Amino acid sequence: PRDMDLPGWRCHALMGAMKGHWAVWVDENWRLIFAFEGADVVRVDYRDYH
């Protein structure tokens, strides 16, 4: 996750039902949601998060 923590990306861990997933800010309400298995990104989704 640290490699994804670039200025303006707003990379953050999710909580609750999405615990274990991360989100990167794309635009307004849109987020790129993903999870890691080891060093690999899996379960990628693009959604209106709010």
CATH number of domain containing 8: 3.30.2310.20
Say what the pLDDT of residue 12 is: 87
pTM over 0.85: no
Number of structural domains in the chain: 1
Local structure of residue 49 (DSSP, 8 states): -
Residue 5 confidence (pLDDT): 63
pLDDT one-digit tens code per residue, 34-44: 998 988 888 88
Could you tell me the residue range of the domain that residue 35 belongs to? 2-48
Answer whether residue 1 shows pLDDT above 70.
Answer: no
How far apart CA 30 and CA 19 sit, in angstroms, is 18
Whether the pLDDT of residue 26 is over 60: the answer is yes
Q: Which one-letter DSSP state was computed for residue 18? A: G
8-25: pLDDT as tens digits = 667 888 999 999 999 988
